[in-house]
Structure 1
Amino acid sequence: MSSPKESSPAPADWVRGPVADLFSSYVATAALSTAHQLGILDQLAEHGQAPFGNGGDDRLSDTVVRSVHRTLHWARVVEIKDDEAVIPGPLFAEAYAARGYFYWLVKGCGELFSIAPDVALTERRTGDFYHRDMRAVAVGSRLIGDEEVEPLFDRILADPPVEKVADLGCGSGQRLIRILGNHPGARGVGVDISTAAVRLATESVESAGLTDRITLLQGDVLALEPHPEFADVDTVTCVFMGHDFWPYDSCVQTLRRLRTAFPAARRLFICDVVRTSDLPGPDTTVFTLGFEAVHALMGDYLPTLDQWHEAFGEAGWECRTVQPTTTPPNGYLFELIPRAD
């Protein structure tokens, strides 16, 4: 039997086609993330067209912007007309809806993939062995949640109304801002371990004119202790960071500690994406491969749905409701109440 190397196909068989598309898709993913940050996608969504290139904006490299447009033209996200204008392409609506996933992957976590061969070595997996752009992670996570998770929160939090809410892993701060907008008499406190995320949230809260109602704290959610700002919190939310509680013993300890840190909390909402067990295939959903690969590279354990329920019970929380989400795929919103015993 000949080896794959000995029977390798002729270049004419792979310089075009599925393997070539894999290569180009990587470039297109980066271009989509870039187009989001530069505001190109929003301009197309709002006005239906954009200049091909920088449009006379000397702050932007005309060459780079044209390259982004050309790449997205290949991906059928945009169409270039007469080398003058860019308009939405056949896949624009879907790509625009998914822009948060691309931004989270490329801008937020892209460095992880470039160092994957290095951090595959056990000896390299110590200390701060990787870096993520946590501001981009926060922005991407907000866009991912805006589609379904945040409206779901709005409906659930309406009854009983919130008086004071704590958002763990508050990211950009937009969730707190929206909740307080829906509950005019409420107050909020946000906690995040990332200085970049806290700065972003501070900017958002100041822009919303809510500095008198929202307090932002930098801290490790896994090691929270009682704090004056926590004493009267009745509702605790935690979105897209619950997997950081794990592995199992750490998760149980963190969940128990939350009962102590927030003694007046009536409800705890955790929304997170769980680990899949099936092999990936043609129907694998957006985000699934990226989410699981990023956390494997970081060394973070991802629990299954059943493991979450086991941890809730041991930590003294009763799971009142579970609501699956379509976006993000494999996501679940758990509504928990402290168990009397």
Structure 2
Amino acid sequence: MQNVDRGITGSSLAGSAILLEIGAEYGVIEFLQNSEVVDAAAASRSCGIKESVISAYLDSLSKAGIIEVLSPTAPATYKVGSNFEELINEVGYLSWALRACAPLINNAKEFSEHNEEAQAKYPRSGGLVARTSKWMGEKSFYPQPENAIVAMAPRKIVDLGSGSGGFLIRMLRKIPGSTGVGIDLSASATEQAVNAASDAGMSDRLQFVTAPIQVLVEDASLIKDADIIHAGFVMHDLLPAEEETLDALLRACCTHAIKGTLIIVDAIPVAQSNWEKPFAAAFNHLHNHFMSRRLLSEEEWTEKLFRAGFSNVRIEVLDHPGGRMLMASK
């Protein structure tokens, strides 16, 4: 059995994760993704790491089968393998679990004894959470809401928890004439979003605001006249401590959006399908017992949306285990 190709295994995924995580720390992964042909000198210039180090790194990636050699003659050139994006997606789950959530897992006993103090003492890295979530999301939970929004051709899109602005920029590229508003608690993420919008030539179509999404309960001006309001993995941050605020926020979204269309992408606490069960259970356990968050079931979300004034609620299963897209309209 030693010579049989067994496809993706724990050891092959671990090896890929090590190399891709090193590349992420070097800052070279996006360069690889966006380049048809790669050489060590160009990659070194893109990330600021010494060329000799990048040369050795690219050689290891090629030996792992992650990138392909185009020309072995110095300077060697490479291109990413056909399964590179799929591998990024698979590694994203492993990296989110064991790197982004490492402060929680490594201190599980302390969380069990002094939970509130441990949450303050061992915060997760926002940068790691964002990057590993992106690696998971680009194939697992971004495409479905993006396709749904494009099909509706909205003129104004509001993104709650807009981060560094990637979602809105992609939407506006696909929907000519549309405008967008992004709201995020992080000032640094908002600054990145403003810069990204400028780089994309969309500053006149995009507005990014640093604020908690809860402000919309008292001042709904940012969502007024929106065709689509999108909330990706952000609503559960209000539960259970701010459940009344969540209910008021849902009512505000229903009242102030022109078409009253709200798209929520979030996780459910328990999944029934075998392919979903392990990750969904772990995701729920971490959020419930380490972050003091409560995830809602499909039935609980449906009830809340109906109570908020929406008359139609449709639910779709995402490729992300435990992930659901809820589309609510008047």
TM-score by length of 2: 0.73
Aligned to 2:181: 189
SS of corresponding position for 1:132: coil
Change (3 A) 1:123 1:154: closer
CA separation in 2, counterparts of 1:172 and 1:103? Answer: 20
String of CA shifts for 1:29-88, please: whole Å, max 9, x gaps: 45432324532586389568876xx989972496799689869978x76799x9x98997
Asked whether 1:306 is paired with 2:299, we answer: yes
Query: Which is higher, the Rg of structure 1 or of structure 2?
Result: 1
Pairing 1:219-230 to 2, within 5 Å after superposition: 219-224=211-216, 225-230=218-223
Asked whether 1:203 is paired with 2:195, we answer: yes
Asked whether 1:128 is paired with 2:116, we answer: no
Aligned to 1:145: 137
CA separation in 2, counterparts of 1:127 and 1:306? Answer: 29
SS of corresponding position for 1:139: helix
- 1:204 to partner: Cα distance: 1.5
CA separation in 2, counterparts of 1:158 and 1:58? Answer: 37
- 1:170 to partner: Cα distance: 0.7
SS of corresponding position for 1:255: helix
SS of corresponding position for 1:147: helix
**In angstroms, what is the RMSD of aligned CA positions?**
4.2
CA separation in 2, counterparts of 1:116 and 1:61? Answer: 40
1:274 to 263, 268, 273: 268
Aligned to 1:35: 23
Pairing 1:320-331 to 2, within 5 Å after superposition: 320-326=313-319, 328-331=320-323
String of CA shifts for 1:125-181, please: whole Å, max 9, x gaps: 377343223234333333433225433234322454312111001112111112222
- 1:329 to partner: Cα distance: 1.7
Pairing 1:25-174 to 2, within 5 Å after superposition: 29-37=17-25, 38-40=27-29, 43=32, 59-60=49-50, 94-105=86-97, 108-122=100-114, 124-125=116-117, 128-147=120-139, 149-174=141-166
Aligned to 1:16: none
CA separation in 1, counterparts of 2:160 and 2:152? Answer: 20
1:212 to 204, 220, 238: 204
Change (3 A) 1:114 1:32: farther
Aligned to 2:238: 245
How many residue pairs were aligned? 310
CA separation in 2, counterparts of 1:215 and 1:250? Answer: 27
CA separation in 1, counterparts of 2:308 and 2:254? Answer: 14
CA separation in 1, counterparts of 2:177 and 2:68? Answer: 48
SS of corresponding position for 1:230: coil
Change (3 A) 1:329 1:128: same
Aligned to 1:12: none
C-alpha contact 2:261 2:327 (8 A) present in aligned 1: yes
Which of the pair is proportionally richer in helix? 2
C-alpha contact 2:32 2:38 (8 A) present in aligned 1: yes
SS of corresponding position for 1:316: coil
Aligned-residue identity in percent = 23
CA separation in 2, counterparts of 1:286 and 1:202? Answer: 37
SS of corresponding position for 1:268: strand
CA separation in 2, counterparts of 1:174 and 1:309? Answer: 28
Aligned partner of 2:316: which letter? Answer: Q
SS of corresponding position for 2:222: helix
1:236 to 221, 229, 233: 229
Aligned to 1:335: 327
SS of corresponding position for 2:326: strand
C-alpha contact 1:34 1:68 (8 A) present in aligned 2: no
Aligned partner of 1:171: which letter? Answer: G
CA separation in 2, counterparts of 1:204 and 1:194? Answer: 15
Gaps of 5+ in 2: 1-8
Pairing 1:254-269 to 2, within 5 Å after superposition: 254-260=246-252, 263-265=255-257, 266-269=260-263
C-alpha contact 1:245 1:251 (8 A) present in aligned 2: yes
SS of corresponding position for 1:215: strand
C-alpha contact 1:171 1:192 (8 A) present in aligned 2: yes
- 1:97 to partner: Cα distance: 3.4
Please, which moves more after superposition, 28-37 or 283-292? 283-292
- 1:198 to partner: Cα distance: 1.7
Please, which moves more after superposition, 39-48 or 313-322? 39-48
TM-score by length of 1: 0.71
